[in-house]
């Protein structure tokens, strides 16, 4: 491509269809709405009941919204989700693996039950969703897979050993899938949010001591807002990122530099 051919419509997602797991709450909702603002139609599978808010935001952008009640850790659920996207919307062009859990407990109180549940949602389901999406993307020689990693893809993390382990694993999985799928014009990348003001961080933010400790570590001086991630996901889902592959994009306000 000649540089004279580049146009801002390279960021357009018109005609694209996306699946966003966990897309009706928190960061997932921001990702789903961002893709809709770019022009994509969106299917949101979630174990959480649909309250209509995500659909209203997506449809306000002129995009189509589909909801599917699904537990992504259930047998055959990823296959059914991807098949439903193809059936209802016509294709699966973008997959955002956002669904995640983060149970907190000290080492001696964190057992196999919590570990297995965290791995099932954060890592195994992301693999299975990506595997099913790839079955449709490879023959079409086109697709975008975006894994929601974390600053804990690079750090330890007190009280969150399983979360940190799965996010390290998800970053590694991103690179491994990139290495195999790039030949089919499928880009596999990750987004690594830092500390964001969502329901999952409410307890930390409500404690003045822990809240200040986090803020002291962020050069930007504030918690991230879901909207801070919207540009990143549109970029990674669009033609503008066709030569970006196997990368984990930090959106952390500078947290890791301090």
Q: pLDDT band at 157, cuts 50/70/90?
A: confident
Find, among 258, 152, 186, 170, the residue nearest to 215 by Cα.
Answer: 258
Would the pLDDT of 1 be above 80? no
Would the pLDDT of 155 be above 90? yes
Give the span between the Cα atoms of 241 and 237, in whole angstroms: 7
Residues 89-121 pLDDT 10s: 999 999 999 999 988 889 999 999 999 999 999
Q: E-assigned strands of the chain? A: 17-20, 41-46, 65-69, 94-97, 143-148, 186-193, 248-251
For residues 3 and 27, the model is more confident at: 27
Residues 7-48 pLDDT 10s: 789 999 999 999 999 999 999 999 999 999 999 999 999 999
Q: For the chain, give percent helix, strand, coil, nearest 5.
A: 50, 15, 35
163 catalytic? Reply is: yes
Q: Mark out the alpha helices in 40-111 (DSSP H runs).
A: 53-59, 77-89
How open is the CA angle 41-45-51, to the nearest 5 degrees?
A: 90
For residue 36, give the H/E element and its range. Answer: helix 26-37
Residues 42-94 pLDDT 10s: 999 999 999 999 999 999 999 999 999 999 999 999 999 999 999 999 999 99
Give the span between the Cα atoms of 71 and 74, in whole angstroms: 6
Would the pLDDT of 2 be above 80? no
pLDDT at 3: 63
Give the span between the Cα atoms of 130 and 193, in whole angstroms: 20
Would the pLDDT of 158 be above 90? no
Helix axes 161-181, 112-119, angle to 10 degrees: 30
pLDDT at 222: 98
Would the pLDDT of 244 be above 90? yes
For residues 257 and 3, the model is more confident at: 257
Give the span between the Cα atoms of 138 and 45, in whole angstroms: 22
Catalytic residue among 65, 154, 163, 255: 163
Domains (range + CATH), the chain? 14-253 (3.40.50.720)
Residues 181-212 pLDDT 10s: 999 999 999 999 999 999 888 988 999 999 99
Q: What is the mean pLDDT of residues 220-240?
A: 97
200 is written with which tokens?
A: 């999952």
pLDDT at 105: 87
Q: Whose structure tokens read 């009640």?
A: 69
Collapsed DSSP state (helix, strand, coil) of residue 208 = helix
Find, among 7, 6, 13, 81, the residue nearest to 230 by Cα.
Answer: 13
């Amino acid at each position: 491509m000649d540089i004279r051919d580049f146009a801002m419509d390279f960021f357009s997602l018109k005609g694209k269809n996306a699946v966003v797991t966990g897309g009706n709450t928190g960061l997932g909702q921001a990702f789903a709405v961002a893709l809709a603002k770019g022009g994509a139609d969106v299917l949101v599978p979630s174990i959480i009941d649909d309250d209509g808010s995500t659909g209203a935001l997506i449809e306000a952008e002129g995009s189509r919204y589909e909801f599917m009640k699904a537990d992504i850790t259930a047998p055959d659920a990823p296959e059914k989700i991807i098949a439903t996207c193809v059936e209802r919307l016509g294709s699966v062009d973008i997959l955002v693996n956002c669904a995640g859990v983060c149970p907190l407990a000290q080492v001696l109180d964190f057992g196999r039950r919590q570990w297995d549940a965290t791995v099932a949602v954060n890592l195994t389901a992301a693999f299975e969703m990506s595997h099913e999406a790839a079955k449709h993307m490879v023959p079409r020689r086109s697709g975008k897979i975006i894994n929601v990693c974390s600053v804990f893809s690079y750090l330890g993390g007190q009280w969150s050993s399983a979360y940190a382990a799965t996010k390290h694993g998800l970053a590694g999985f991103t690179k491994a899938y990139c290495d195999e799928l790039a030949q089919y014009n499928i880009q596999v990348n990750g987004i690594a949010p830092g500390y964001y003001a969502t329901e999952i961080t409410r307890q930390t933010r409500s404690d003045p001591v822990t809240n200040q400790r986090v803020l002291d570590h962020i050069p930007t001086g504030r918690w991230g807002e879901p909207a801070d991630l919207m540009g990143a996901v549109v970029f990674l889902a669009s033609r503008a990122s066709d030569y970006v592959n196997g990368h984990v994009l930090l959106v952390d306000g500078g947290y890791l530099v301090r």
